[in-house]
């Protein structure tokens, strides 16, 4: 008598590759007055937070509305980025035109991202209410405006932690993977020690061993 073999689970496919556009917007950094800190800060955090194979397309450009909009269109429409993160140019000064350029290329606006970014920053400085960050969708890509300082970038994406490292306020990136799911992008897998993605149970894949 032959004993039936026990069913085995199909192996999970490897994490999907993700193409991320990074745009640092600064007149002085783009002209070489000082070294840009935005691009390396974004890249370092994303490499810690995501378990997917990552490919980056980076741009360092001045505060020019048409140039910013052109870079965003190129990264989404030509390069095929799934996510585009900008840093810099979101304040009230005359040369701060990143939100306007982002709105120029948007198919739809996601107001909650900007609201939450300001709420996180208000834990540190009252001038956070002057920030004008946007979250928008273009095609199947998510575009987010982030602050200009490395510390603020990390806090905005990851959230606020106490002295023991416990999370006190959730960062905005926790909502990004499910948003990318909904607009037809790749399945983002995060390191929960850095940023635990939130998805409804029906949208979750089995955790990897």
**For the segment 134-185, what is each residue's pLDDT rounded down to a tens digit?**
999 999 999 999 998 999 999 999 988 877 777 778 899 999 999 999 999 9
DSSP collapsed to 3 states, the chain: CCCCCCCCCCCCCCCCCEEEEEEEECHHHHCCCCCCCHHHHHHHHHHHHECCCEEEEEEEECCCHHHHHHHHHHHHHHCCCCEEEEECCCCCCCCCCHHHHHHHCCCEECHHHHHHHHHHHCCCCHHHHHCCCCEEEECCEEEEEECCCHHHHHHHHHEEECCCCCEEEECHHHHHHHHHHHCCCCCCCECCCCCCCCCCHHHCCCCCC
What whole-number distance in Å separates Cα of residue 39 and Cα of residue 191?
21
Residue 78 confidence (pLDDT):
98
Residue 3 pLDDT more than 60?
no
Residue 153 confidence (pLDDT):
94
pTM here is 0.92
What whole-number distance in Å separates Cα of residue 130 and Cα of residue 118?
9
Residue 12 confidence (pLDDT):
78
Average pLDDT over the chain reads 92
What whole-number distance in Å separates Cα of residue 89 and Cα of residue 93?
8
- The model's pLDDT over 55-86, given as tens digits with 9 standing for 90+, comes to 999 999 999 999 999 999 999 999 999 999 99
Residue 16 confidence (pLDDT):
96
Q: What is the mean pLDDT of residues 19-23?
A: 98
Strand ranges of the sheet holding 108-109, from the earlier edge strand across to the other edge: 54-61, 18-25, 83-87, 141-146, 135-138, 108-109
Reported as a pLDDT band with limits 50, 70 and 90, residue 10 is low
The CATH topology of domain 18-203 is: Molybdenum Cofactor Biosythetic Enzyme; Chain A (3.40.980)
- The model's pLDDT over 37-61, given as tens digits with 9 standing for 90+, comes to 999 999 999 999 999 999 999 999 9
CB-based contact 143:102 (threshold 8 Å): yes
What whole-number distance in Å separates Cα of residue 196 and Cα of residue 173?
9
Residue 7 pLDDT more than 80?
no
What whole-number distance in Å separates Cα of residue 33 and Cα of residue 35?
7
Percentage of the chain exceeding pLDDT 70? 95
- Residue 188 tokens read as 């983002």
Residue 115 confidence (pLDDT):
96
- Residue 33 tokens read as 């007055």
Residue 208 pLDDT more than 80?
no
């Amino acid at each position: 008598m032959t004993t039936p073999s026990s069913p085995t689970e199909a192996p999970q496919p490897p994490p999907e590759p993700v193409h991320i556009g990074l745009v640092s917007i600064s007149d002085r950094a783009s002209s070489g007055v000082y070294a840009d800190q935005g691009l390396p800060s974004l890249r370092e955090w994303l490499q810690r937070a995501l378990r997917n194979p990552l490919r980056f397309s980076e741009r360092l450009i001045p505060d020019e509305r048409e140039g910013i909009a052109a870079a965003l269109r190129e990264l989404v429409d030509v390069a095929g980025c799934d996510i585009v993160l900008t840093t810099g140019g979101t304040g009230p000064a005359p040369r701060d035109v990143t939100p306007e350029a982002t709105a120029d290329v948007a198919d739809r606006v996601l107001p909650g991202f900007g609201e939450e970014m300001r709420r996180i920053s208000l834990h540190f400085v009252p001038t956070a209410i002057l920030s004008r960050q946007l979250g928008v969708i273009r095609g199947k890509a998510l575009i987010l405006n982030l602050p200009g300082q490395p510390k603020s970038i990390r806090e905005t994406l990851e959230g606020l932690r106490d002295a023991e490292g416990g999370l006190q306020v959730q960062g905005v990136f926790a909502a990004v993977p499910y948003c990318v799911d909904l607009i037809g992008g790749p399945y983002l897998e995060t390191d929960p020690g850095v940023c635990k993605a939130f998805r409804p149970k029906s949208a979750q894949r089995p955790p990897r061993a």
